[in-house]
């Protein structure tokens, strides 16, 4: 992550413009608007480098491909069952230290909420 290239700028810009974690393929599509020749391998390599240097954090939801967003501390995520987008939830409901059996030690946790986002709430019935 030493040289500054138009590919890397496009990838950073795509992630910056989005207000939510993006899939590698979403990053590719968005960044290709600036650099049409961009390849998926470069996206993966750049994402990996940014994660390694802790500029990005990986958002791994159950059964989903990894998403990426700029690092901003401990928080959780909301998955919209209608549109499939993932939103940040800037709140945390506790450490859950007390719900495990004796002898188990909780060090951290991940919470994913599922439902309907504000955008999809109007037209969705369920």
Binding interface with a second copy (CB under 8 A):
58, 60-63, 66, 76, 78, 81, 87, 89, 91-94, 96, 99-118, 121
- Cα–Cα distances in Å, from 13 out to 31, 38, 47, 93, 109? 7, 14, 12, 32, 30
107 binds, among DNA, a second copy, none (CB under 5 to 8 A by kind): a second copy
**Residue 84 binds: one of DNA, a second copy, none (C-beta under 5 to 8 A by kind):** none
**Among DNA, a second copy, none, what binds residue 71 when CB lies within 5 to 8 Å by partner kind?**
none
Q: Which helix (H) or strand (E) holds 67?
A: strand 67-70
The residue among 46 and 117 lying less far from DNA, judged by its C-beta, is 46
Write the Ramachandran bin of 78: left for phi over 0, alpha for psi from -120 to 50, otherwise beta: beta
Tokens at 46, concatenated:
């750049």
Query: Which positions touch DNA (CB under 7 A)?
Result: 1-8, 23-25, 35, 37-42, 44-46, 48, 65-66
């Amino acid at each position: 992550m030493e040289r500054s290239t138009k590919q890397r700028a496009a990838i950073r810009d795509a992630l910056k413009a989005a207000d939510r974690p993006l899939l590698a393929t979403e990053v590719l599509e968005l960044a290709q608007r600036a650099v049409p020749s961009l390849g998926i391998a470069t996206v993966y390599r750049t994402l990996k480098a940014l994660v390694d240097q802790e500029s990005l954090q990986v958002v791994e939801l159950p059964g989903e491909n990894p998403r990426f967003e700029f690092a901003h501390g401990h928080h959780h995520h909301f998955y919209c069952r209608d549109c499939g987008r993932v939103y940040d939830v800037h709140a945390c409901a506790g450490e859950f230290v007390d719900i495990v059996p004796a002898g188990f030690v909780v060090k951290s946790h991940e919470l994913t909420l599922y439902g309907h986002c504000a955008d999809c709430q109007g037209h969705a019935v369920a």
